[in-house]
Amino acid sequence: MKYALALLLVLVSPLAFAATISIEGLMQFVLYIIVIGLVLWLLWWLVGYAALPEPFAKIARIILAVIAVFFLINLLLGLVGSPIISLR
């Protein structure tokens, strides 16, 4: 009985500390992902369309990828409550 109660406590305790996310916050997160993704995709397309010479095109694509990862990390940290840069 004592072990069953300890096992139940171990299984339920992570659920007690789970964060609650509001629907408005989740909708805002999805909207930010769509808008930032669209802007970065258009910039990626523009780099390919402009026919930059190869070293410059590769550098531009790497910079765009780093910016995309930075914004994704920032948005995920915003869900936790401490974004690097506030987008509001």
Three-state DSSP string of 56-69:
HHHHHHHHHHHHHH
Predicted confidence at residue 38, as pLDDT, reads 93
48 with 57: CB under 8 angstroms? yes
Find tokens 């997160």 and name the residue. 29
The ranges of the chain with pLDDT < 70 are 1-21, 87-88
Q: What is the largest CA-CA distance in the chain?
A: 72
CB-neighbour burial class of residue 67 (10 A; exposed 0-12, middle 13-18, buried 19+): middle
Predicted confidence at residue 54, as pLDDT, reads 87
pTM value is 0.61
